[in-house]
Structure 1
Amino acid sequence: MRPHEIEFSTFEGGVFTDLMPYQYGREVCTPGHAFGPARRSHYLFHFILAGRGTLTAADDAGASRVHELHAGEGFLIFPGQITTYVADLEDPWEYTWIEFDGAHVKTQLDRVGLSPASPVYEAQDAERCKQMVAAMRSLLDHRSASQFYLEACTYLFFDAFLASIKPHRANSASRLHSFYVDNALAYIEQNYQNDVTVEDIARNAGLNRSYFGKVFRDAMGVSPQQFLIGYRIEKACELLKLSNLSVGDVGRAVGYPNQLHFSRAFKNACGASPRAWRQEHAQR
């Protein structure tokens, strides 16, 4: 029997809004090795390199579903989802994993039909699957590399992940909602530094504010206003960490012309003033 092995690392780089890793690793499990029940704050993807195991995961209604999995497959755990996964008693699995999140992640997963009720990854393109695993391996092999290298590996992983997956069936309403939300996210990315409102975003998507708010919350898990504020604050964190701009200039660059309003919004989101946050997180 192979001994239990585990290697992992956490991402200690900056704040990246669109896509970023949180942790990544590889584990060789002993028979019956289990993790959970547990709930995650971000998306967590496992790709099975060898062996077999079982995933028990709650669907959108909270009902538990059991998935028998083997080498060459994978499974995606969603934020807030309660899961337990157990290695097979006779042929325990070895897997590699990455925990990640970002502004566009949910809409891209909706596009390929992955959901808490359908969390199993099956590859339809073997070459792209190999590229995906290679990107996951690069994160571990180069864990001391710069934050930009690790961020680039995460983009390579996610691109190959989406390109290699066998799409699950998604209904036409979900595809239409993804179109509206993609449109809104693109508008926010291009205009967050300006004086935009939720009404502006809804109007650009061609929807009234009430219906747009429901579609957006269903897709993203937060209201458009909460997302806009969060997006601006994450962009502010990038600037505070990676630039020498003054706090006032950072605020103006992310859509807060009033420095007091910016500082208040930043402290509400991050628990510290922009100046204090910069002192703690600025590049040395």
Structure 2
Amino acid sequence: MSNVLYSIFPSENFIDLGLYQYGWEQCDPAHSFGPAARNHYLFHYVISGTGTLTAENSRRESVTYNVKSGQGFMLFPHQICTYIADSELPWEYTWLEFDGLKVKEFIETAGLTMNTPIYRPRHKDIAQQMTYEMLYIANHSQESPLHLIGHLYLFLDYLAKSNSSPIQTQGNRMRDFYIKEALSFIEQNFQNDISVEDIAAFCNLNRSYFGKIFRDTVGKSPQEFLISYRISKAGELLKMTSLSIADIGNAVGYPNQLHFSRAFKNVYGVSPRAWRYEQQEKME
């Protein structure tokens, strides 16, 4: 039996929560990775063994942590880190690399930050359910993308529940209400000429305060989120319909085709026409 499972997720069309790569490994003694930085969030759960993680904190200072079985560690986007399995009792771990517009909120609920990256679950029974979801994903790469994303949501739910406290949950309740209201407004009105001021007004909040709690929760400014949401919807229309580029731009809130093409390229790196062609090539 191989001592490693490794898979790359086949689709990147999930904007709220996306999976990138995942797997399981029984590490060799002193096996190491890094120093390197990831583009997305990467969570390791240690099933057995021990090792060390050296990672930057929010002040870009390198801090070393010992991580053993029953614990885990979160790596953050663009954070330089190195992790090394013990030379006598090396790690067996499973991992998921993921990202999305709602990920930052889940991770903060679990109490994980660049300054506190080590996962030490408060509730062992829920941590076991979380581990099951991670291993399920690692062992079912043949399942559909939507199926795997469903299990990724369950993983994040168990991650947050296994390490959250009642005080944390109660303290975030009002902020979460405003963010849900804002997201609902965007989902229902993204195709119209709406601004950040309109979203803040709908929530009955000061624009500055609304922008702060939105970025703190979602990890993007309201304007960045609105653009990402519109472009993700445009991607769906480009892939699933034969509508013209101009019609699709208009349908997602960009009546000016030049502005739409520029915004699309800023997100995907290519023009809408080139992206549609690439997707058609993949489906043939």
Question: What TM-score, normalized by structure 2, do the two folds share?
Answer: 0.86
SS at match of 1:15: coil
For the 8 Å contact 1:14–1:238, the answer to whether it is kept is no
| Partner residue in 2 for 1:55 | 53
Structure 2 distance, partners of 1:28, 1:185, is: 41
| Partner residue in 1 for 2:43 | 45
- Is 1:204 aligned to 2:202, yes or no? yes
Give % identity: 50
Structure 2 distance, partners of 1:189, 1:235, is: 10
| Partner residue in 2 for 1:64 | 62
For the 8 Å contact 2:106–2:156, the answer to whether it is kept is no
SS at match of 1:128: helix
Question: What TM-score, normalized by structure 1, do the two folds share?
Answer: 0.86
Unpaired runs of 5+ in structure 1? none
Structure 2 distance, partners of 1:180, 1:108, is: 16
| Partner residue in 1 for 2:123 | 125
| Partner residue in 2 for 1:10 | 8
For the 8 Å contact 2:30–2:86, the answer to whether it is kept is yes
Residue number among 272, 275, 278 corresponding to 1:274 in the alignment: 272
For the 8 Å contact 1:110–1:174, the answer to whether it is kept is no
Structure 1 distance, partners of 2:198, 2:40, is: 29
SS at match of 1:225: helix
Superposed CA deviations along residues 107-154 of structure 1, whole A, max 9, x for unmatched, are: 222233221111111223334323322222222222122222222222
Check 1:14–1:60 CA distance in 2 against 1; reply closer, same or farther (3 A cut).
closer
SS at match of 1:194: coil
- Is 1:265 aligned to 2:252, yes or no? no
SS at match of 2:113: coil
Structure 2 distance, partners of 1:273, 1:35, is: 36
| Partner residue in 2 for 1:185 | 183
SS at match of 2:116: coil
| Partner residue in 1 for 2:148 | 150
For the 8 Å contact 2:110–2:162, the answer to whether it is kept is no
- CA displacement at 1:4 relative to structure 2: 8.7
- CA displacement at 1:25 relative to structure 2: 0.9
Check 1:29–1:117 CA distance in 2 against 1; reply closer, same or farther (3 A cut).
same
